[in-house]
Structure 1
Amino acid sequence: MAQAPDDNFSELSQYTLDRHSLQMLPEPFCRRHFVVVLGKVDPAAPNATVTVGMLNPENPHIITRIGDLLERPIRPVRLNRYEIESALETGFGAGPRVTADLVIRPRPPSRAQPTAVELVDTILSSAVEKKASDIHIESYPGDVDLRLRIDGILHQIYTDMSPEIVQEVVNRIKILAEMDITEHRKPQDGRIQAVIDRGEDNRKVIDYRVSVVPSPAGEDVVIRILDSHAGLVPVGQLGMSADMQHVLLQLLNNPEGLVLVTGPTGSGKTTTLYSALAQLNDGRRKIITAEDPIEYFVPKVNQKQVSPQMPYPVLLRALLRQDPNVLLMGEIRDLETGSTALNAARTGHIVLGTLHTADAVGAVGRLRGLELDDTDIADALLAVLAQRLARRICEKCSEPREPTDEQKALLGHLLDGVKLMAGRGCDYCHHTGYRKRVGLFELLVLDAELQDLIASGAHNAQIRKYAREHFFKTMVDDALEKIAAGLTTVDELIRVIPYRHIIATRDERHG
């Protein structure tokens, strides 16, 4: 609860400046909204009123957010900009100005039960340290689970978060993601940008995409981690064969056409596209991206962020007037973006996009499902690259392994002559037998006959049959080559590639 603001300017000299109290509000929040905690706050008095200096003490939205962050009654007073910046220098120093929602710094070990603020900081920073892609906080009657998705697999993580404090943790996350903490019956989405600060030369900006969904025991939270400075994977390390890599780069060197990368969420589509763009970016092409959000920063590529002021369709139309050679437009999700992609691909642009389809051939059906014209698809589409990510066998504990009876029954003659390897499990791979991941790919390149089939309305089964008869290598074939090379396992093939595709390849090869 906030007291009525003091309309007159206060003097900074009237207040004590206590470094610990000043840091009760996140530095980025203070700098962005020009607010500062004044006086010394007694941590043992949770109901004591906190005085907060503000540039605009009449802003009810900011006052509400300050109250949520401090969890105490506040008394807003007016200070000028110079005095607020001076006070912030006392609290945070005169270092680089951070515009994130949160700064997370290492905390000394404590035997006390951590607060919700400390738990959230620990969860967000430890997930980055463990190279997780997602954080899952799940509430059950009398229990709570914290799981991290690492290399595509969920791992249970020990947590001090108890069922009694989990709602405080969820509320803290919702506050940071600018969600409504009073709403518990509807799903909400938001974003947090945090700086993981481990010292002067070790500051990392991380974007978190937050999804909160009601559950019978409270609310479940899933947080996707986007490390925009993680570094691009060179094309040669994605796992493509040399021939496929050569063909893909040749396709991207075309003067026009549409190249799609397909696969489920988390299959590495964006990584593949960015890696290819970075290799193509020789300074002679104008490369523009339309992203929501920007997941990686690529040097000398014009990356644009979708925003409420510039929604996806509006941004795409604007970018086409920027004379690009290559346009990366992210997911083609509706008729409007699909039409834009096809038109741009036929008018002197290479267009890169993504789709959520199970395989390369399925992209044609997905485009038709958006009500795009068969002839337009056939004219514009150059190729479709489908991919999955499989866990790579740990190089420190790899050893020969015999196939199980179930694997023999499923794959049949596909395993003939293939020497299988698997990880035994060691400290290096945290006893999982796997470390890092490798891509599994299939590349469908449209020739004149395939264009004719698509333009005439041929269904996916006809297109797939033609492709297989003309040396199309499926993802199952690619996985088997990587299994034979000792890079991954049959278990991973079965885990990431749909069953019907495994059966289709087995029957096609040994019908």
Structure 2
Amino acid sequence: MSQGSEEGFSELSQYQLDRGSMRLLPEPFCRRHFVVVLGKVDPAARHAPVTVGMLNPDVPHVLTQISDLLERPLHAVRLNRYEIESALETGFGVGPRVTADLVIRPRPPSRTKPTAVEMLDYILSIAVEKKASDIHIESYPADVDLRLRIDGILHQLYTDMSPETVHEVVNRIKVLAQMDITERRKPHDGRIRAVIELGESQRKVIDYRVSVVPSPAGEDVVIRILDANAGLVPVTQLGMSQDMHRTFLQLLANPEGLVLVTGPTGSGKTTTLYSALAQLTDGRKKIITAEDPIEYFVPKINQKQVSEHMPYPVLLRALMRQDPNVLLMGEVRDLETGSTAINAARTGHIVLGTLHTADAVGTIGRLRGLELDDTDIADALLAVLAQRLARRVCEKCSEPREPTEEQRALFGRLLDGIQLRAGRGCDHCHHTGYRKRVGIFEMLVVDPGMQDLIVAGAHNAQLRKYAREKGFKTMVDDALEKIASGQTSLDELVRVVPYRHIIATRDERQGK
């Protein structure tokens, strides 16, 4: 189909906005690629070009996808981001109204005698401002610590709370999270939804997942921060190498099979899975998720929350009757969820899920530990993606760095030919030397040879040996490539990758 585009910017006011025509393209696709149908499309005029507004009308693969979805020739024009977002609001609306437990207008608490309400509002808002993932409030007999986890590291924050007043803040948290404030001997879990007012027309909707646990000095609180405005990270921005990125997309394009993402808590598994969902969302597939909890709401995806009345096994059985093409399971945790995942993956569904294992090869043993059959595992499993998150070296203050004697002893020949870099510390990175994070990955693809080994009951060492012979790269290999390109540091590799993995890769390299 022919495609054309105009140079320079057009004006949105030049075009009619017709909701029916705009909805000929799926909403998630439009919002992901900043695309909008302009004018009224005549269903009978199959050969008449359709005008589409785009942020960048010079991307061939996006133009091809639009033309394929519309089954019409295109005339692409350039609009700015504000005009496209305004047009999309006309076509699809701004989404459902948000109900919140409180509205926060960020301001420092009173310096005289701040109230519990002021202190909590400040804590909740400053954590979002600093892009923290978690808030820790820890009570000690003679002190109170307030710490924020930023880029995986805990940072101390000044607090007006004292051992005498911290219980007032904790009670405020428990009231908002609908917990029993009179019960201080048992752990509690809850949720707070807040709207943070950033200005006259700006606001952020934040979900805070709250855990309260008794301690000798009172109660400790950890609050996980989920920013509904953060949006999905494209697969291209996760930090995968080009080869791994290409393989991952090919795996997602399969008609059926199981893809597992593994790693410890906080390693970015959920981000990767949501990126995969964004890649799969094209308006032609039924995508259903079973989550506990739902961390981010994704347009046009059927997200289901595990609950007391609808536990995982019940929910998964029900979802299989909803005719899904793609099923996302929050976690494969036992024989029943594992069997459901494998059966779905063998009967015409792509199944995505998470598992807590140290590395990709260890996933096979973990599935066996759930008492799943070797033949079923081999038939259903397409691949395992193991990952960690390492801090990025600050690009503003990055400078060459020589390895220490301890690092030379630990890594040996792994450091040959690598120029290390580290951040000196500056205002841009808050003098930490790091800013943001990058994924470190290893991907185990289950090819026919690997299937035969799994069916034969091969142990991890045999599976790893076979994978290495087929070009498998470990997380250590991936991290060293990112260190060589200046993205992260040796200190981060040691911090996030298990010691035995470093030793195994070093010894293998030195044995060659």
TM-score, with length taken from structure 2: 0.79
Matches within 5 A, 1:487-506: 487-506=487-506
Cα displacement string for residues 196-247 of structure 1 (whole angstroms, at most 9, x for unaligned residues): 1233422211111111111111111111111122111111111001110110
**Deviating more after overlay: 100-109 vs 410-419:** 100-109
Report the 3-state secondary structure (helix = DSSP H, G, I; strand = E; otherwise coil) of the residue aligned with 2:376: helix
Q: 1:130 to 1:108 in 2, by over 3 A?
A: closer
Cα displacement string for residues 96-142 of structure 1 (whole angstroms, at most 9, x for unaligned residues): 97522222123476332111111111111111111100110111111
What residue number does 1:245 align with? 245
Matches within 5 A, 1:101-116: 101-107=101-107, 110-116=110-116
What residue number does 2:310 align with? 310
**Deviating more after overlay: 294-303 vs 267-276:** 294-303
What residue number does 1:224 align with? 224
AA aligned opposite 1:123: I
What residue number does 2:138 align with? 138
**Does the 8 A contact of 1:119 with 1:169 survive in 2?**
yes
- 1:368 paired with 2:381, answer no
- 1:169 paired with 2:169, answer yes
**Does the 8 A contact of 2:109 with 2:119 survive in 1?**
no
Cα displacement string for residues 436-461 of structure 1 (whole angstroms, at most 9, x for unaligned residues): 00000000001112111111222212
**Does the 8 A contact of 1:229 with 1:297 survive in 2?**
no
Fraction of identical pairs, as percent: 84
Matches within 5 A, 1:327-406: 327-406=327-406
What residue number does 1:470 align with? 470
Report the 3-state secondary structure (helix = DSSP H, G, I; strand = E; otherwise coil) of the residue aligned with 2:347: coil
Report the 3-state secondary structure (helix = DSSP H, G, I; strand = E; otherwise coil) of the residue aligned with 1:331: coil
Cα displacement string for residues 285-339 of structure 1 (whole angstroms, at most 9, x for unaligned residues): 2211111222122232222222333222222112111211111111111111111
What residue number does 1:280 align with? 280
**Does the 8 A contact of 2:109 with 2:118 survive in 1?**
no
AA aligned opposite 1:99: T
What residue number does 2:100 align with? 100
What residue number does 2:76 align with? none
Q: CA RMSD in A?
A: 1.4
Q: 1:417 to 1:102 in 2, by over 3 A?
A: same
What residue number does 1:151 align with? 151
AA aligned opposite 1:102: L
Cα displacement string for residues 452-498 of structure 1 (whole angstroms, at most 9, x for unaligned residues): 11112222122112112221100000000000000000000000000
What residue number does 1:299 align with? 299
**Deviating more after overlay: 229-238 vs 291-300:** 291-300
How many angstroms apart in 2 are the aligned matches of 1:288 and 1:338? 17
**Does the 8 A contact of 2:106 with 2:121 survive in 1?**
no
Aligned length: 416
TM-score, with length taken from structure 1: 0.79
Please say which structure displays the higher CA radius of gyration: 1
Cα displacement string for residues 57-98 of structure 1 (whole angstroms, at most 9, x for unaligned residues): xxxxxxxxxxxxxxxxxxxxxxxxxxxxxxxxxxxxxxx975
Report the 3-state secondary structure (helix = DSSP H, G, I; strand = E; otherwise coil) of the residue aligned with 1:114: coil
What residue number does 1:259 align with? 259
Report the 3-state secondary structure (helix = DSSP H, G, I; strand = E; otherwise coil) of the residue aligned with 2:330: strand
Q: 1:246 to 1:324 in 2, by over 3 A?
A: same
How many angstroms apart in 1 are the aligned matches of 2:117 and 2:308? 29
What residue number does 2:426 align with? 426
Cα displacement string for residues 251-299 of structure 1 (whole angstroms, at most 9, x for unaligned residues): 1111110000000111111111111221222222221111122212223
How many angstroms apart in 2 are the aligned matches of 1:177 and 1:131? 22
How many angstroms apart in 2 are the aligned matches of 1:97 and 1:135? 27
The Cα of 1:167 is off from its aligned counterpart by 1.0
What residue number does 2:78 align with? none
**Deviating more after overlay: 328-337 vs 426-435:** 328-337
What residue number does 1:446 align with? 446
How many angstroms apart in 2 are the aligned matches of 1:496 and 1:97? 40
AA aligned opposite 1:447: D
**Does the 8 A contact of 1:387 with 1:475 survive in 2?**
yes
Report the 3-state secondary structure (helix = DSSP H, G, I; strand = E; otherwise coil) of the residue aligned with 2:283: coil
How many angstroms apart in 2 are the aligned matches of 1:225 and 1:347? 37
**Does the 8 A contact of 2:109 with 2:122 survive in 1?**
no
AA aligned opposite 1:310: M
How many angstroms apart in 1 are the aligned matches of 2:208 and 2:110? 26
How many angstroms apart in 1 are the aligned matches of 2:442 and 2:109? 49
Cα displacement string for residues 386-417 of structure 1 (whole angstroms, at most 9, x for unaligned residues): 00000001000000000000111000000001
How many angstroms apart in 2 are the aligned matches of 1:430 and 1:206? 24
AA aligned opposite 2:143: D
How many angstroms apart in 1 are the aligned matches of 2:505 and 2:373? 30
**Deviating more after overlay: 171-180 vs 389-398:** 171-180
Cα displacement string for residues 149-180 of structure 1 (whole angstroms, at most 9, x for unaligned residues): 00000000011111110111111111111112
Q: 1:98 to 1:287 in 2, by over 3 A?
A: closer
What residue number does 2:289 align with? 289
How many angstroms apart in 1 are the aligned matches of 2:452 and 2:97? 57
How many angstroms apart in 2 are the aligned matches of 1:469 and 1:217? 55
How many angstroms apart in 2 are the aligned matches of 1:110 and 1:179? 27
What residue number does 2:60 align with? none
**Does the 8 A contact of 2:262 with 2:387 survive in 1?**
yes
How many angstroms apart in 1 are the aligned matches of 2:418 and 2:250? 32
How many angstroms apart in 2 are the aligned matches of 1:188 and 1:111? 31
**Does the 8 A contact of 1:294 with 1:305 survive in 2?**
yes
Moved over 4 A (4+): none
How many angstroms apart in 2 are the aligned matches of 1:193 and 1:306? 18
**Does the 8 A contact of 2:292 with 2:306 survive in 1?**
yes
Structure 1 unaligned runs (5+)? 1-95
Structure 2 unaligned runs (5+)? 1-95
**Deviating more after overlay: 181-190 vs 261-270:** 181-190
What residue number does 2:319 align with? 319
How many angstroms apart in 1 are the aligned matches of 2:495 and 2:429? 19
How many angstroms apart in 2 are the aligned matches of 1:399 and 1:161? 39
The Cα of 1:380 is off from its aligned counterpart by 0.6
**Does the 8 A contact of 2:257 with 2:346 survive in 1?**
yes
Report the 3-state secondary structure (helix = DSSP H, G, I; strand = E; otherwise coil) of the residue aligned with 2:261: strand
How many angstroms apart in 2 are the aligned matches of 1:382 and 1:465? 19
What residue number does 1:29 align with? none
Report the 3-state secondary structure (helix = DSSP H, G, I; strand = E; otherwise coil) of the residue aligned with 1:308: coil
